[in-house]
Structure 1
Amino acid sequence: MNSGTVKWFNSDKGYGFISNDNGGDDLFVHFSGIASQGFKTLSEGQKVTFDIETDTRNGKLCATNVTIVQPTGARI
């Protein structure tokens, strides 16, 4: 599992990019790669964990199974 920060996410278009804490290029994230129920969106600056897979359509790396990291002591 990797960790990073949401660089930006456009809820209207359903995609954005995550900056990987391990360095390298930013990773594309589609709303379908967000591991949550209901309306799937991310906010700039959120800390997340994710898996990295190769997009079968274009061969580029993308983030999947994206989960928002809750701050210590946060209520859900």
Structure 2
Amino acid sequence: MAKSRETFNKKEKEKQRQKKKQEKLDKKEARKSGNDKSTDFEDMIAYVDEFGNITSTPPDPTKKKKEIDAESIEIAVPKDSELEPEDPTRKGKVTFFNGGKGFGFIRDDQTGESVFVHINKCLDSIQEGDKVTYETEKTPKGLSAIDVKLIN
């Protein structure tokens, strides 16, 4: 006997096609009859509550609104005078220094970041492993150490 050429998968796909076709016909009939309530204007309105969430219920007019003094709202950035100036001097350890080429790197004790140092910006001669104090300046290639001094 020959096997049926219809497989389970083919039957399922045909059922899905028939189901979609029937749903499409039902929607078409509903549109023609005019019983579709989703186009009602009241169903399309959405409201925003006091927390910024979208809801379908209108706000309660009896609820008291909060009064906010317009003078208390600050639009500008606060002045820097409120912040205490931080000490520009940092401490660190020289992790690498090439005396022949005249540059190296200092690892900051607080942040742990590496800062480039050039021999022209050193007040004392430094070597790898030395503890130093320094200040930083911003250069096009990143932070650079200046006024590098050895700690005794």
For the superposition of Structure 1 and Structure 2, which TM-score range results when normalised by the shorter chain?
Answer: 0.7 to 0.9
Larger radius of gyration: 2
1:51 maps to 135
Task: Pick the aligned partner of 1:31 from 90, 103, 119.
Answer: 119
1:10 to 66, 85, 98: 98
* Runs of 4 or more above 3 Å deviation: none
Q: CA deviation at 1:22?
A: 1.1
Give, as a single letter, the amino acid of the residue that structure 1 aligns with 2:134. F
Alignment: residue pair count: 64
SS in structure 2 of the partner of residue 22 of structure 1:
coil
Distance 2:141 2:97 in 1: 21
Matching residue's letter, 2:128: E
> What's the secondary structure of 1:64's corresponding residue?
strand
**1:63 and 2:151 are equivalent in the alignment:** no
Secondary structure of the structure 2 residue equivalent to 1:43: coil
Deviation at 1:14, TM superposition (A): 0.2
Which residue does 1:42 correspond to in 2? 126
TM-score by length of 1: 0.77
Question: What 5-or-longer segments of structure 1 have no aligned partner?
Answer: 71-76
- Return the offset for 1:25: 2.1
Q: Which runs of 5+ in 2 are unaligned?
A: 1-88
Note the C-alpha offset of 1:59. Answer: 4.3
Q: Which has the higher helix share?
A: 2
CA positional deviation for 1:66:
0.2
Question: Percent sequence identity over matched residues?
Answer: 36
With the length of structure 2 as denominator, give the TM-score of the two structures.
Answer: 0.40
Q: Say which structure, 1 or 2, has more relative contact order (CA 8 Å, 6+ apart).
A: 1
